[in-house]
């Protein structure tokens, strides 16, 4: 997995010409995850009052997704070991790049009350073995703000279930796993993540496209 990550992310970043100066992923020395907002899956709703939902499909391979999509794609915490000497199953690792980071932050879901401390409005890399579908409540509008440090790319995401526009960044790049390439954009689809950049620093606002 580390080998795939090192090669896959290095090729993707180099091909896009992004994040120059960052340390190449090598599976070691990743910063610890501290001070992040806890992200938990919502409780199971009453089946008799479930709101309408929409489906989001993600391709096999590397996907750049929002924090909420990352929570759903990772899934619940793995069960404990079933017997002495047995290792607990491991959940997928997700990666993010935020203000002040010189390399990716890595995390995976673990048992406990704060099992996957994602940051609201952040974007995450996740590697999927095959096409994966999740469902989210329809019509959720969740505007967020993301601080943009001067001269650094950070990862942001649309955690809502409607398209949202990114304002305040000099450049925003989304990743297409099917084409294995980046493209500039100002609009993120539900569950989609992106890299945002500001030369002078500021705040990126991620708000619904339609009023």
67 torsion bin: left (phi>0), alpha (psi -120 to 50), beta (else): alpha
Taking the C-alpha atoms of residue 46 and residue 66, their distance in angstroms, rounded to an integer, is 26
Q: pLDDT (tens digit, 9 = 90+) per residue, 178-189?
A: 899 999 999 999
Taking the C-alpha atoms of residue 48 and residue 51, their distance in angstroms, rounded to an integer, is 9
Average pLDDT over the chain, rounded to an integer: 79
How confident is the model at residue 156, as a pLDDT? Answer: 97
Alpha helices in 38-149, H assignment, sequence order? 67-74
Question: Which pTM was predicted?
Answer: 0.73
Q: pLDDT (tens digit, 9 = 90+) per residue, 106-135?
A: 988 776 655 688 999 999 999 999 999 999
Q: How many Cα atoms are found within 13 Å in the side-chain-facing hemisphere of 42?
A: 9
Nearest to 155 by CA among 166, 141, 143: 166
**pLDDT reading at 15 higher than 50:** no
Residues with Cβ within 8 Å of 132's Cβ and at least 6 positions away in sequence, in order, are 57, 58, 60, 73
3-state SS assignment for residue 8: helix
| CB of 191 closer than 8 Å to CB of 65 | yes
Taking the C-alpha atoms of residue 42 and residue 29, their distance in angstroms, rounded to an integer, is 32
Q: Is 113 exposed, middle or buried (0-12, 13-18, 19+ CB in 10 A)?
A: exposed
Taking the C-alpha atoms of residue 14 and residue 209, their distance in angstroms, rounded to an integer, is 31
| pLDDT band, very low/low/confident/very high, at 75 (cuts 50, 70, 90) | confident
Only one residue has tokens 């079933």, namely 82
How confident is the model at residue 92, as a pLDDT? Answer: 81
């Amino acid at each position: 997995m580390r080998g795939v990550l090192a090669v896959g992310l290095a090729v993707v970043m180099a091909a896009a010409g992004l994040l120059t100066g960052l340390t190449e992923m090598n599976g070691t020395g990743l910063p610890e995850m501290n001070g992040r907002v806890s992200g938990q899956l919502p409780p199971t709703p009453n089946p008799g009052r479930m709101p309408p939902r929409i489906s989001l499909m993600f391709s096999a391979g590397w996907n750049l997704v929002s924090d909420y999509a990352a929570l759903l794609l990772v899934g619940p915490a793995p069960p404990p070991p079933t017997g002495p000497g047995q290792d607990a199953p491991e959940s997928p690792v997700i990666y993010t790049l935020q203000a002040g980071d010189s390399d990716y932050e890595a995390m995976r879901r673990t048992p406990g009350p704060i099992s996957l401390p994602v940051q609201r409005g952040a974007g995450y890399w996740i590697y999927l073995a095959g096409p994966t579908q999740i469902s989210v409540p329809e019509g959720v509008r969740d505007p967020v703000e993301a601080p943009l440090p001067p001269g650094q790319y950070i990862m942001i995401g649309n955690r809502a279930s409607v398209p949202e526009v990114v304002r305040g960044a000099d450049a925003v790049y989304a990743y297409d796993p099917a084409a294995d390439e980046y493209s500039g954009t100002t609009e993120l689809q539900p569950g989609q993540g992106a890299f945002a950049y500001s030369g002078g620093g500021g705040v990126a606002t991620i708000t619904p496209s339609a009023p």
